[in-house]
Structure 1
Amino acid sequence: MQQQNTPHQQTDNDSSLISHLLELRARLIRALLVLFLGFIPCALFARELYSLLAFPLLEKLPQGGQMIATEVITPFFVPMKVALMVAFLITLPHTLYQVWAFIAPGLYSHEKRLFLPLVFVSSLLFFIGMAFAYFAALPLVFEFIVYFAPEGVAVMTDIGAYLNFVLTMFMAFGITFEVPVFVLILIRTGLVSIEKMKSIRRFVLVGAFVVGAIFTPPDIMSQILLAIPLYLLYELGIVIAALLMKQPAQKATTARQHSPNSHENNE
């Protein structure tokens, strides 16, 4: 028979749920408060931040080229969006800490040891992906676009459209650089073996170019710049997973060799 909860147990469950919801609200408020405090100084330099973001395009425009604003409020709201994005990136460690503080009590010790390094590495890889997009991908893409512009066509873009384009590129490259973490999680959790990962390499290579075609603008340069790192990072994830899987096996072999029973068996 299924055991029913007593009124006292039901009350404890309700109070536990309420306490968790209250803690979640407190964590969200703290994260949003710190984000707001980080946004204030960024908003004071919103124009400079947008100029820095627009530098890869402005550098490649022909002499006298510039960006335009096609809506009345765009010159104000677009720099504010950039300031908010920068504030989010600056305060991201605090936000991740709030997430960690909320879920840590429900994790086992081995899950805690795995979670913290993954969060740190994932954040670092995402920032590296954004940096790669800004310093490597965007200049090449804009140079490619400007070079192939027909004669007599002035290459000028709306600042709002440019921001959406850059954010798309940042997200695409940031998520792409998370591939080693995804591969490591799949292998460490036993969902996929290393041998299986190696056997589907050619499919991953084709899929990398498909992903590049979907999540980047319709030019061959940006597709290649996304597809090649994606595949190389997939290979890197396999290498890292193989190295991490060897360490426990080596420790277990060393422990068996130095155990008393192994000496008795050898005798």
Structure 2
Amino acid sequence: MADEFLLTYDGTCPICEAPTTFVSNDRWLRGGLTCKSCTNGSVPRERALAYVLNRIRPDWRNLSIHESSPVDRGISWKMRNQCTRYTGSHYFPDKPFGTTVEGYRNESLEDQTFPDNSFDIVVTLDVFEHVFQPGQMIKEIYRTLKPGGLYLSTFPIRKHQVTSHRPRVRKESDGRLTHLDTIEIHGNPVSGDGALVTFDYGYDIHNMLAYWVPFEVEISRFNMRRLGILGEYTEVISCEKH
């Protein structure tokens, strides 16, 4: 059929750190190009973040890491199993924050219960675009990072959008949601209802990150076939606290 698609080639995965075969049956490579050697597979944005993590903090296994909304695959699985000071958190709004729910710490990124200077590294893979107060989230991440700490994140940066953040939905004072654009839902590892996209982010988001808090910000973009980092929205945003 004309719409059939298959991409397969050999390379080396920065997560499982082994020769592997990358395979996709979907033209949307960001979610479809999987590593056949990774536990539960991995996709390009996860391999991109692993590559940057290994480059900037090669000793990450010995550091304290907080990851928000991890999935059970790829670099999330690897950090949880190889870093002895790893804390994974999810958002369960109907449960007490700071408690353990379904094996994870229950945290709102916009109002965290962690003490100041708790972590060497904070990681969010495709979480940023789902919060209602991104500036408040960044302030909380900055607060919980130790001096010299690193925040790594992935989220879609719209190639056609220049201004840093455009709201898709507004939360009113009574909790009602007013949609300002078409509704977009992404996957949610702890809810079958998915996660609502609250903002679209554009090219100058690095300036907003440094405006909200005094982070040093770097954005890495990739077309690295040998590492299986292909497709759209594979940027990794690195923020260092000095």
Bin for the TM-score computed over the shorter chain: under 0.3
More strand as a share of residues: 2
More helix as a share of residues: 1
User: Rg: which structure is higher?
Assistant: 1
TM-score after normalising by structure 1: 0.22
TM-score after normalising by structure 2: 0.23
